[in-house]
Amino acid sequence: MIFSLKDKVSIITGGGSGIGKAIATVFAQQGSKVCILELNKTSAEEAVNTIRHQNFHAKAYPCNVAIHQEVKETVDAIVNEYGQIDILVNCAGIAHIGKLDNTTEADFDRLFNVNVKGVFNAMQVAVTHMKNQKRGVILNLASVASTVGVADRFAYTMTKGAVLSMTISVAKDYVKEGIRCNSISPGRVHTPFVDGFLKANYPGKEEEMFDKLSKTQPIGRMAEPVEIAHLALYLCSDEASFITGTDYPIDGGFIKLNT
C-alpha cells in the first residue's frame, strides 16, 4: 500500500480536534499506532473513539505541551509501551487576534508557551529517542503567517515564524542521524475554531463572514482538515524519504497569488 504507515508509532500533539484530529485519523487508517497528546481530555477521547470505531489503533494521552516535564513523561511512557517513536507531528497550537500595540504581555507569553515552547518540548524529547533509533520523522504545523504578513495576527505570526525556523534548524542538525524534519504552512482551514470565532465575533453574520474569509484564498474556499492531513501523510511516509528541511505551503494560492 502506497504511503503505508503500518507498524509505525505516531505521536500527534493537538490531535483531538481540527487538523490534528484529521491527521490522527488518516495516519491510523494507513496502519499507524496513533498516540494523541491533547490538553482537552474529552476531545482526545472522542477522537480516539472515532478512530477505534473504524477498527484502527489510537490512544489518548492528556498532556499540556507547554510543560516540559509533562511532555517528557508522556513521550517516555509511549516509548516504553510501544518500544519506538517513528513520527512526531506538532499540531497543538492556539490563535490570537491583535496587532503589536494591543497585544498584552500575557497574550504574548501564552502564545509563545504553547506554539513555540510546546513544539520545542515535543521535538526535544522525541529527538532523544529518535537519535537512539537512528531514524524518525518530525512534521511541524507552521502557517502562511510564517512567511507573509497577516493583518491583526502579530503574536501568532511571531510563533509560526519560530516554528519554521526551528524546523530548518532541526533538519540540518540531525540529518546525518536519520531524522527528517519538515513543516506545513496552511492557509485558512475550516475547523471548529473558525466556526467558534465567527459565532463569537459576528453573530448573525456568520455565513457572510465565512464567505469573505474563504475568498481571501485565491482558490475561493478554505481548506478542509483532511486535505492538510493528506499532505502530512506523504511527508511522514517512506515515499518522502528524500525530503527534509522544507516548508510546504498548502494555501489555495494565498502566498504566491496574492502578492
- Residue 178 is predicted with a pLDDT of 98
Q: What percent of the chain has a predicted confidence (pLDDT) above 90?
A: 92
Q: What mean pLDDT, rounded, does the chain reach?
A: 96
pTM listed for this prediction = 0.96
Q: What percent of the chain has a predicted confidence (pLDDT) above 70?
A: 100
pLDDT in tens, 168-216: 999 999 999 999 999 999 999 999 888 888 888 899 999 999 999 999 8
Q: Which residues are catalytic?
A: 156
pLDDT in tens, 39-70: 999 999 999 999 999 999 999 999 999 999 99
| Three state DSSP letters for the chain | CCCCCCCCEEEEECCCCHHHHHHHHHHHHCCCEEEEEECCHHHHHHHHHHHHHCCCCEEEEECCCCCHHHHHHHHHHHHHHHCCCCEEEECCCCCCCECHHHCCHHHHHHHHHHHHHHHHHHHHHHHHHHHHHCCEEEEEECCHHHCCCCCCEHHHHHHHHHHHHHHHHHHHHHHHHCEEEEEEEECCECCHHHHHHHHHHCCCCHHHHHHHHHCCCCCCCCECHHHHHHHHHHHHCHHHCCCCCCEEEECCCHHHHCC
Q: Which domains does the chain have, with CATH numbers?
A: 9-189+225-257 (3.40.50.720)
